[in-house]
A and B are shown apart, each in its own frame.
Chain A
Amino acid sequence: MGNRRRAAAFSHATQAVSGPTAETIKTAGRKHSICMVSDFFYPNMGGVESHIYLLSQCLIEKGHKVVVVTHAYGHRKGVRYLTNGLKVYYLPLQVMYNQSTTTTFFHSMPLLRCVFVRERITVVHSHSSFSAMAHDALFHAKTMGLNTVFTDHSLFGFADVSSVLTNKLLTVSLCDTNHIVCVSYTSKENTVLRAALDPEIVSVIPNAVEHGDFTPDPSQRNNDRITIVVISRLVYRKGIDLLSGIIPELCLKHPDLHFLIGGEGPKRLVLEEVREKYQLHDRVRLLGPLEHKDVRGVLVQGHIFLNTSLTEAFCMAIVEGASCGLQVVSTRVGGIPEVLPEDLITLCEPTVQSLCAGLETVIARQRSGSVSTPASVHARVRNLYTWRNVAERTEKVYDRVCGEEVLPLDRRLRRLRTHCGPVAGSIFAFVAVLDFLFLLFLQWWLPDRLMDLAADASGPFGLWRQEASESKSKAPSKRGGQ
């Protein structure tokens, strides 16, 4: 099963998302105005944030207009521009927990409507199921009759109370969303089950890695010893407890083994304890929090990359590790088996014994010198996941979505009540009606014609690009004039 799925992932990596329909062909080549909504964006750091940023950059390169909407981070409020005219709205909404905003279903409506109207948005693309703002935006966009896309970045359980509740919310939020994107086939299965979706409207588009930033450099390695690199947040989900079991066991067997651990989190204490107990201060180095630009510098010092995650939708870290030419050892959980071809990764069960056995074989291989060179590993990985490919496939999703109709209110209510159960369905149908009435009130209170349309920074009429090309041709004369 796993093998088949993995094989499918690779053949899909270069293929279209799904068979293009007649509508897709008709709308292909059209330029969209896309609004990316998520609670998570820079200056916060993480996978979702860089995904949104890099995907937006590639879509702008393809001539679409992209706007990002997120909540205010401290003093960073209002409107900002990033590279290539990527416009970011930092809306002043209250942050509740873990950088996610509160949701009341209504209070974010006036500002989001303002953004959608003044930017002439055609597609609303929300990211991450942890983000309340993303769900709010989906809800309002559907009320306003805009096409919606949702990208899920994480895996979820089914058993405990919190996941039961989140899954119900996800069902409500996604039952009338036009299209859903997942980052791996495991994640797709998970999302389809959690939200009771039709698998037809769920596409798989993996993440990508900036391979230019992750090039191997064997000269940085110290070949007298073998270095294992671990880069992850030091939290329970990333299996740091497993790591604390592996370190003493392997360090006793191999005196030339060194660990290099980058990242910060509550589980750092566990690792420090282990280091203290077994007197491994010279062999286990804890680097603390790393900035993204420093990650490569750490990766190239190692021979083996170790990932001990307990759950993972799509592991970017192992691709980055492989891209730097390291041997990758990882747990066989979530979407990880799909990510890399079999000969580039050693998969183990998420137990200390299995991971130790896996590491032993790789260490033995490393000693005998029978591993492929970093350059050849890099060459194989670099074409597997590129942002351009991700952008192309996302573009196809937009083309398809734009050909679909947004459900009018009566059919949306029927869909909510049939898909989400009698109780939750009725409650959310009521909320949808209220949202619609609120929209009518806002349209009366502040009509669309009173909102000034924003000047496009990116897209077909983007001022940024014209200016850039102009300044390129006129640069000398302009400088002379000043």
Chain B
Amino acid sequence: MADMTVNQSAVRSKPAVNVNTRAIVMGLYLVFLILPIYWLVNMSLKTNTEILSSFSLWPRDLTFQNYATILTDPSWYMGYVNSLIYVVMNTLISIVVALPAAYAFSRYSFMGDKHLFFWLLTNRMAPPAVFALPFFQLYSSVGLFDTHIAVALAHCLFNVPLAVWILEGFMRGVPKEIDETAYIDGYSFGRFFIKIFIPLIASGVGVAAFFCFMFSWVELLLSRTLTSVVAKPIAATMTRTVSASGMDWGVLAAAGVLTIVPGALVIYFVRNYIAKGFALGRV
């Protein structure tokens, strides 16, 4: 923290070297972010013997065996498939139900709207730990235990409120005259909403989908509680690396790296969206 304040005062007093200080600050911060991830990648490319016997900043004895172990064993790679299935399902459900609701909140005032909005937000605030056990009972009783849809629905608990919140912010930025003009032109609500309104807030939908994907992908407690075999997420599969013969560090690291890949891909594809989306909406 100490050198940070020094940097900060440097920025303020000497605007001439602004650009350089900025680069240094960002450089330091990014290194801080990347270093632990680099270490994971580094370990995933080593053999277990190398990990435990010597200490090196890069793999001396490069191996892809750890990745091969995961990608050839269905009980491993199905974990990724399961996670992806319920994450995509959850994102779709969240966005589809959140769009009309966010429109209602941004355009109309109706009985109890503010209370409803706050109630939705409280669900975003409810700790998953509180709901883990009743969820298990609920989904067992309706016969959905260990299915993808169960996890997707459970994640709606915190993703739907978030999606409504984000989309409402974006929709508020669209002038109401557009709606009125469309209605005068004879558009029905449904056609106006899909043909005109959604394209207008496309970046907002992108940002909301990004956040839903993110929170569903990273959540473990509920997805682990609600599945056992068929829909087991990768995060739960990873505990397999602890065996009687000790930790399989290499495979654990490789599995970790592979969980980062989908996220990294998503960020890469929506990067311009995010920059634009963040700038446009209130988020």
Chains A and B belong together in one complex: no
| B interface, CB within 8 angstroms of A | none
